[in-house]
Amino acid sequence: MAVGKITFTKTEREKLAEVLWLLNWISVVTGAILFGLGLFLKIEIQKWQEVMSEQGILYVPHMLITTGLAACGINYVGSKICLDCADTNKFLRWKLVMMPYIVCTFFFTACVLAGALMCYSIRSQLEEALYLGLRNTMRFYKDTDTPGRCYLKKTLDLLQIQFQCCGNTDYRDWFQIQWISSRYLDMTNSAVVDRVRSNVEGKYLMDSVPFSCCSTLSSRPCIQHNLSNPGAHAHYDEQSQQLNLWRRGCQQALLDHYTGTMQSIGLTVLLIWLFELLVLTGVRYLQTAMENVIRLGDPDSESEGWILENSLAETACYNFSIIKTLGKCYQVDDDPNINVPTAAADQEAPSAQVQVNVTS
Amino acid sequence: MPFLSLKFNLQKRVKLAQGLWMLYWLAVIVGIILFSLGIFFKIELRKRSEIMDNNESHLVPNLLILVGMLSCGLNAFGGKLCHDSLDPQKFSKMKPMLRPYMLLCCGFNALLLLLVLLCFLMQFAVYLTLAEGLKNAIRFYKDTDTPGRCFMKRTLDMTQIEFRCCGNNNFRDWFEVQWISNRYLDMSNDVVKDRVLSNVEGKYLMDSVPFSCCNPGSPRPCIQHHLTNNSAHYDYDHRTEELNIWNRGCRQAVFSYYSGIMNSIGALLIFTMAGDVAGLKYLSTALETMADPENPECESEGWLLEKGFKETLADLLSKVKTFGRANQVEEGGTSPNVTAT
C-alpha cells in the first residue's frame, strides 16, 4: 500500500515541474538568508567573546553557515533537474541521479531542523560560559598593563554601558574584587595600607563600583563610592538608591540578549525548514510520477506519484535488510541449507570426468 | 544647424530607448533612497532636539522628502514614455505631453540644485543652534525636577557617552556651572557652605565633571573630581593625562556627525542631477524626424537644440520681449503680432 498516492495527468506533471523550478529558486534565496543569519550570529558572539569563558556555542552559527551554503547548492541543482523533468526525454538524463539527490536533500533538511533546534537548546551552556567569563573579566579588570588583558577593562566598561548592567549577578560583585590596580594606590597613605593589611589576601577592597555602572536614568549625579553607607550622602533615600546604578547583572543581560537573538533566528530557520520539506515532497512526487510514466511507456498517459512505494513499516524492513546484507558480504554463513562448495568436492569432479573420457 | 545632432537608425533608437528606460527606473530607486534619507535625517534631528534648544530647522529634511516623492513620480512617468516611444501609435498619443514634461524636469533639476546649496549652507545654522543648545543643556543639567527640563540630564549624559565628548568646547565648561542640584548638597557641611559663599552668585562650583565624561579606554579607573589638583590623586598630572576623560567638545563631535550626513546627502543629490533630459530630447527628436513614418527601419536625426546655441538664445530673448509687449499697442507695422489682425 503506497504512502500518499496521487495520480498525475501530463499537464499536471508539467505544472508541478514548473512550480518546483520556481520553488527551488526561492529556496536558493532562503539558503542565502540562512547563510546570512549564521554569519550575523557568529559576529554577534565574537563581539563579546572576551567575556565568555569558552566559545563552544560557535558551533551553532557554523552549522547555520554550512547548511545555508549547502541549501544554495542543492536547490540550484534541484531547479535544473525540475526544469528538465517536464519532458520525459530530458528526464532520462537525470534518472540515475534523482534517487541519490532526494536522499541527500532529505538528510540536508534534517540538518536544517537540527540547526533550528540547536538555537533553542543553547541556554544552559551559555549561562555557565557567561558566569565564568564575566567572573574572570572582573578579576582582570585592573590588569591594563598585562599583555593579553590590556583591553578587558575597556570591554567590560563598554558592556556595562551598552547593556545597562553592573557586575556579574549584582553590583555587589564589585565589592569582592580589587578593581583598582596597585600602581594607582598611594602605599604611603596609612588609610590605604590599613585597608590592604586588614584583608586576608592583601587585596584593596572597597564598597565602590566603576563609573560604567552609573545609570543615566538617575535624577542625581552618580554616587559610586561608600555605597554600603547611605548615610554618607546627602538625602540618599531608597528611591535614589534604586535609580543610581544599573540593577541588572551582566550575566542576565547578556543571556537575555543572546537567547532573544537565537530564538528569532531559530524561528526563521524552522520556517525555512518547513519550506524545504515542502520542496522535497514535491520533488519526490515528481520523481515517482516520471518513473511511472517511463515504466508505462506512454509519455502522455496518467501516472501515479507517491512518497513511499510500500507502507512505512515495509520500507523500513526492506532498508534494514539491505543494511544487514551489506554487512554480511564477507562473512561465512553457518546455515546448513546453503551449499558451500568445499575443496574436496572440487578435486573429485575433474577426476570423475577423466575416468568417463577414458572409458568412452 | 541643429545643436549637437546625431544620426539614428532603428537599432540605435531602440538601444537609446532601452537605455533611457533603465536609467529612469534607476532614478526611481534613487528617489526612494532620497525619501528614506529625508526621513532618517528628520528623525536624527528630532532625537537630539533637546540639545539644540528645540528650535532646529527642519527645512532640509522636509524638502528632501518632497524631492524624493517628486523624483519617483517624474522618473516613473519618464520610464513609461521611453517604453511607449518605440510604438508609433502610443508615441503619437504621448507627443503633446513631451514638451511640458521636459520643462517640468528642468524645473525639478533647478529644485535639486537649490537643495544641494541648502545642504551645504544650512550646516552653519546647525552649528549655531548646537552651540546655543549645548550651553543651555549644561546649565540645566541639574534641574531634573523642573518641568520641561527633567530629561536634560539623561539626554546630555547619553550624548556625551554616544559621541565620546565632554562639555561644549571642552571639559572645562563643566567647571563654570553648578551641575549638582542644591537638594543633593549637604548644606550643614562647612566645606560645602564655604564653597557656596565664596562664589559671587552663590553657586556650588567644582573642578569635577559628570561620570558620562569618563573614557572607558583609560588604563586607570576614572578620575572625575579635583581634576586640576595633581596632589589629590596618586601619580596624576592633569597636563599630560589624555585618556582619563574625553578631550573633545560635544559641539564639535555632534556637528561633525550632522555635517557628515548633510554632505553625503548633497553628494547624492549632485549625482541625481543626471542628464535624463538630454537623452529624452534626443529620443523624441529622432522619432519626430523620421522621413517615412510607416517604415520603422529608416534613419533619422536627433538633436539637443533645433538651431545653434546662440540662435536659440536670441529666439528665447525675443520671445520674452514680445511676451511683455503682448498687450501694448504697436506704432510701427514691423511687429509680426500686429499684422495678424
Is residue B65 in a domain?
yes
Residue B183 sits in the same domain as residue B260: no
Residue B237 sits in the same domain as residue B291: no
Record: contact A180-B154, CB cut-off 8 A: no
**Model-level pTM?**
0.81
**A227-241 pLDDT tens trace:** 998 888 888 888 888
pLDDT tops 60 at residue A351 = no
Model pLDDT, residue B299:
72
Chain A: nearest CA to B214, how far in angstroms? 7
Percent of chain B whose pLDDT exceeds 90: 49
Cβ distance A37 to A64 under 8 Å? Answer: yes
Q: Which of A219, A222, A246 to mutate to test the interface with B (most CBs of B within 10 A)?
A: A219
Model pLDDT, residue B94:
79
pLDDT tops 60 at residue A349 = no
Residues of A in contact with B157 (CB under 8 A): 216
Cβ distance A182 to A145 under 8 Å? Answer: no
Backbone angles phi, psi at B302, to 5 degrees: -125, 150
Residue B103 sits in the same domain as residue B198: no
pLDDT tops 60 at residue B267 = yes
* Nearest-Cα residue of chain A relative to residue B150: A219
Percent of chain A whose pLDDT exceeds 90: 54
Q: Which of B179, B234, B241 to mutate to test the interface with A (most CBs of A within 10 A)?
A: B234
pLDDT band at B274 (very low <50, low <70, confident <90, very high): low
Residue B116 sits in the same domain as residue B259: yes
Residue A33 CB partners (closer than 8 Å, separation 6+): A68, A268, A272
Residue B264 sits in the same domain as residue B210: no
Average pLDDT of the residues in A186-211: 92
Residue B52 sits in the same domain as residue B181: no
Smallest Cβ–Cβ distance between A145 and the set B219, B222, B235 belongs to: B219
Q: What are the sequence ranges of the domains in chain A?
A: 4-135+250-308, 141-228+240-248
pLDDT tops 50 at residue B341 = no
Residue B94 sits in the same domain as residue B191: no
Model pLDDT, residue A359:
47
Residue B52 sits in the same domain as residue B82: yes
Is residue B187 in a domain?
yes
Residue B126 sits in the same domain as residue B108: yes
Number of domains making up chain B = 2
Least confident range of A60-69, A291-300, B180-189: A291-300
Q: How many CB atoms lie within 10 A of CB B339?
A: 9
A169 or A83, greater pLDDT: A169
Residues of A in contact with B217 (CB under 8 A): 154
pLDDT, mean over chain A: 87
Helix (H, G, I), strand (E, B) or coil at A245: strand
Record: contact B211-A179, CB cut-off 8 A: no
Is residue B319 in a domain?
no
Model pLDDT, residue A293:
85
Q: Which domain covers residue B206, as residue numbers?
A: 171-247
Model pLDDT, residue A356:
47
Residue B192 sits in the same domain as residue B262: no
Model pLDDT, residue A26:
95
pLDDT tops 90 at residue A248 = yes
pLDDT, mean over chain B: 86
Record: contact B211-A222, CB cut-off 8 A: yes
Average pLDDT of the residues in B173-189: 91
**B24-66 pLDDT tens trace:** 888 899 999 999 999 999 999 999 999 998 888 899 999 999 9
CA-to-CA separations, B238 to A118, B210, B220, B233, in angstroms, rounded = 53, 17, 14, 10
Cβ distance A251 to A134 under 8 Å? Answer: yes
Helices (H), chain A: 10-47, 59-85, 88-120, 123-139, 152-163, 190-198, 238-244, 250-296, 312-327, 343-359
What number of C-beta contacts closer than 8 Å exist between A and B? 64
Q: Would strands A6-8 and A303-305 be described as parallel, antiparallel, or unpaired?
A: antiparallel
Helix (H, G, I), strand (E, B) or coil at B206: coil
Is residue B59 in a domain?
yes
Average pLDDT of the residues in A306-328: 82
**B289-318 pLDDT tens trace:** 765 566 666 677 777 777 777 777 788 788
| Nearest of A269, A275, A266, A267 to residue A75 by alpha carbon | A275
Residues of B in contact with A210 (CB under 8 A): 221-222
Q: How many whole angstroms separate alpha carbon B78 and alpha carbon B68?
A: 15
Q: How many CA atoms lie within 13 A of A70 on its CB side?
A: 18
Q: How many whole angstroms separate alpha carbon B277 and alpha carbon B74?
A: 11
Average pLDDT of the residues in A142-147: 93
Is residue B57 in a domain?
yes
**B116-133 pLDDT tens trace:** 999 999 999 999 999 999
Residue B114 sits in the same domain as residue B223: no
CA-to-CA separations, B200 to B136, B194, B195, in angstroms, rounded = 20, 12, 10
The DSSP code for A207 is: S
**Which positions in chain B have a beta carbon within 8 angstroms of at least one beta carbon in chain A?**
144-145, 150, 153-154, 157-158, 161, 179-181, 183-186, 210-212, 214, 216-217, 219-222, 224, 234-235
Record: contact A220-B158, CB cut-off 8 A: no
User: In the numeric block, which cell numbers belong to residue B341?
Assistant: 489682425
Please, what sign has the CA dihedral across residues A182, A188, A189, A192?
positive
Chain B: nearest CA to A142, how far in angstroms? 8
Smallest Cβ–Cβ distance between A144 and the set B211, B219, B222 belongs to: B219
User: In the numeric block, which cell numbers belong to residue A199?
Assistant: 584583608
User: In the numeric block, which cell numbers belong to residue A236?
Assistant: 540618599
Residues of A in contact with B158 (CB under 8 A): 216
CA-to-CA separations, B182 to A78, A237, B97, B153, in angstroms, rounded = 74, 16, 72, 15
Record: contact A153-B219, CB cut-off 8 A: yes
Chain B: nearest CA to A316, how far in angstroms? 55
Which long-range contacts link A194-197 to residues 24+ away (Cβ below 8 Å)?
Answer: none
**A250-282 pLDDT tens trace:** 999 999 999 999 999 999 999 999 999 999 999
Least confident range of A4-8, A289-293, B13-17, B286-290: B286-290
Residue B228 sits in the same domain as residue B263: no
Helix (H, G, I), strand (E, B) or coil at A2: coil
